[in-house]
Amino acid sequence: MNSFDDFFKKTKSVLFKIVEILALVVAILLLIYLLLGEASGDYIVSVAVNISLFISAVTPEALAAVALGLALYTYINKK
């Protein structure tokens, strides 16, 4: 069972690194969009449009549910 735990920890670490890199890429694309506006290219504009649509679709109730879930997860892991 110990080898499975090691494998799970390594996989989790790799996945977190991938998510961090992709979040950085999205942040860079948004920065380029903010600097250049509509002249930044079709792909960057489409990323900005998709993010704005996602932000407008997320309701305050959904944000409260995510915050409650994170708080519950943190509380359970501290015990």
**Would you write out the chain's pLDDT as a tens digit for each of its 79 residues?**
788 889 999 999 999 999 999 999 999 999 999 999 999 999 999 999 999 999 888 888 999 999 999 999 999 988 7
C-alpha to C-alpha distance for 68 and 75, rounded to whole angstroms: 10
Residues in the chain: 79
Give the per-residue pLDDT at 16. Answer: 95
Contacts of 28 (CB under 8 A, 6+ apart): none
| pLDDT on residue 13 | 96
**Runs of H (alpha helix) within the chain:** 2-36, 42-57, 60-78
Q: What is the pTM of this model?
A: 0.69
Return the pLDDT at 9: 93
